């Protein structure tokens, strides 16, 4: 009170810390800053919607043969009609209907094959990197052997023996493409294991299961996710290659790769048969690659 009248300057109060931006929000901002990721996601979303809503988007049955209407060109060419706006194939099936339903094969193969290979690869990678020694030697040797096979050759031979079907395709792609995850995770775990926070975990009496589940797995996850996007693109391309070689999902189920192989003999007279499914694959895979590239930048703390 004795100081009445004197302007008392406020004691320097530590600024209230700004509400910390949640991690997901920071990630989200990083992702939307560059339009490329959004474009990629939009392309992927478009294909997903088409595959879900295929029955609403076309009134034609994708496997209905109509020999009166065979080899009709797309609507913008002479002789094309709106009834079959992307034309018809060599037995009169509607190309748009086959493309729309065919997206289901590509997307489901891409998704489920990646789920399988990611699970196997991450598990084996952690085992090899964490326990080292004989476990590591055994797993690493298997990886070396698998990596020596051109991926497509192994898939091709296995599918040929097991018989072509959607389930076999998913299994074969999932079971042959796990090596990259295993290699990556193994390397990550070897580095992580020596770090202080893991050592502290041991000092506090954590069991192996807890160290792996609480500390190692979450730290490996970002790089695994990035690899998964690339692997999904690869699985979709591989499915189309195998179907193109006649060893994919069996006819009459429409698959983009198979459509191209049946359309190929007509390349000089009916260009749309082999061209349009390729564009569909291109859009899907490009969408995944673009989005995946942005996700990598988003998860990489060095990139701002």
Q: Are 91 and 64 in contact (CB under 8 A)?
A: no
Q: State which of residues 21, 53, 160, 167 lies at the interface with another protein (CB under 8 A).
A: 160
**Under the criterion CB under 8 A, does residue 282 sit at the interface with another protein?**
yes
What SS3 string covers the chain? CCCCCCCCCCCCCCCCCCCCCCHHHHHHHHHHHCHHHHHHHHHHHHHHHHHHCHHHHCCCCCCCCCHHHCCCCCCCCCCCECCECCCECCCCCEHHHHHHHHHHHHHHHHHHHHHHHHHHHHHHHHHHHHHCHHHHHHHHHHHHHHHHCCHHHHHHHHHHHHCCCHHHHHHHHHHHCCHHHHHHHHHHHHHHHCCHHHHHHHHCCCCHHHHHHHHHHHHHHHHHHHHHHHHHHHHHHHHHHHHHCCCCCCCCCCCHHHHHHHHHHHCCCCCHHHHHHHHHHHHHHHHHHHHHHHHHHHHCCCCC
The least distance separating another protein from the CB of residue 99, rounded to whole angstroms, comes to 14
- What crossing angle do the helices spanning 166-176 and 151-162 adopt, rounded to 10°? 140
Question: 57 or 142: whose CB is closer to another protein?
Answer: 142
The interface region with another protein, picked from 20-28, 53-61, 156-164, 192-200 by CB under 8 A, is 156-164
The interface region with another protein, picked from 12-20, 81-89, 139-147, 213-221 by CB under 8 A, is 139-147
**Under the criterion CB under 8 A, does residue 150 sit at the interface with another protein?**
yes
The least distance separating another protein from the CB of residue 133, rounded to whole angstroms, comes to 14
Enumerate the β-bridge partners of residue 88: 94
Which residues between 185 and 244 bind another protein (CB under 8 A)?
233, 237, 240-241, 244
**Four-point Cα dihedral 261, 263, 268, 271, nearest 10:** -120
Residues in the chain, total: 304
Question: 156 or 212: whose CB is closer to another protein?
Answer: 156
Question: 201 or 278: whose CB is closer to another protein?
Answer: 278
Cα–Cα dist 265/127, whole Å: 50
Q: State which of residues 21, 45, 53, 147 lies at the interface with another protein (CB under 8 A).
A: 147
**Under the criterion CB under 8 A, does residue 50 sit at the interface with another protein?**
no
Q: State which of residues 77, 81, 199, 275 lies at the interface with another protein (CB under 8 A).
A: 275
Q: Total binding residues for another protein by CB under 8 A?
A: 43
Question: 251 or 275: whose CB is closer to another protein?
Answer: 275
The least distance separating another protein from the CB of residue 256, rounded to whole angstroms, comes to 8
The interface region with another protein, picked from 5-13, 138-146, 182-190, 199-207 by CB under 8 A, is 138-146
Q: Which of 139, 238, 255 is nearest to 186 (CA)?
A: 139
**Under the criterion CB under 8 A, does residue 303 sit at the interface with another protein?**
no
Question: 240 or 253: whose CB is closer to another protein?
Answer: 240
Which residues between 56 and 115 bind another protein (CB under 8 A)?
none
Which residues between 240 and 269 bind another protein (CB under 8 A)?
240-241, 244-247, 257, 260, 264, 267-268
The least distance separating another protein from the CB of residue 141, rounded to whole angstroms, comes to 5
In the complex, which residues of this chain contact another protein (CB under 8 A)? Answer: 141-142, 144-145, 147-154, 156-158, 160-163, 233, 237, 240-241, 244-247, 257, 260, 264, 267-268, 271, 274-275, 278, 281-282, 285-286, 289-290, 293
């Amino acid at each position: 009170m004795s100081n009445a009248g004197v302007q008392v300057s406020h004691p320097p109060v530590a600024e209230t810390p700004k509400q910390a931006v949640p991690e997901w929000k920071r990630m989200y901002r990083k992702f939307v800053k560059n339009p490329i990721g959004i474009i990629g996601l939009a392309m992927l979303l478009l294909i997903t919607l088409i595959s879900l809503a295929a029955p609403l988007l076309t009134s034609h049955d994708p496997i209905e043969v109509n020999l009166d209407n065979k080899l009709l060109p797309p609507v913008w060419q002479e002789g094309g009609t709106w009834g079959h706006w992307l034309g018809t194939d060599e037995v009169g099936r509607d190309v748009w209907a086959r493309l729309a339903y065919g997206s289901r094969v590509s997307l489901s193969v891409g998704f489920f094959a990646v789920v399988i290979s990611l699970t196997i690869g991450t598990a084996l990678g952690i085992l090899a990197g964490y326990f080292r020694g004989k476990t590591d030697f055994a797993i690493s040797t298997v990886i070396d052997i698998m990596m020596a096979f051109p991926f497509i050759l192994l898939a091709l031979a296995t599918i040929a023996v097991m018989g072509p079907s959607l389930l076999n395709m998913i299994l074969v792609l999932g079971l042959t493409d796990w090596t990259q995850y295993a290699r990556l995770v193994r390397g990550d775990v070897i580095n992580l294991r020596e770090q202080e926070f893991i050592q502290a975990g041991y000092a506090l009496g954590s069991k192996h299961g807890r160290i792996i589940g609480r500390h190692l797995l979450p730290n490996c996850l970002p790089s695994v996710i990035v690899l998964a996007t690339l692997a999904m693109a690869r699985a979709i391309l591989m499915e189309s290659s195998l179907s193109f070689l006649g060893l994919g999902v069996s006819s009459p189920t429409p698959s983009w790769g198979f459509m191209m192989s049946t359309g190929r003999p007509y390349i000089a007279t009916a260009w749309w048969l082999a061209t349009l499914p390729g564009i569909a694959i291109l859009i899907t895979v490009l969408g995944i690659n673009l989005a995946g590239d942005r996700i990598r930048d988003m998860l990489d703390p060095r990139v701002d």
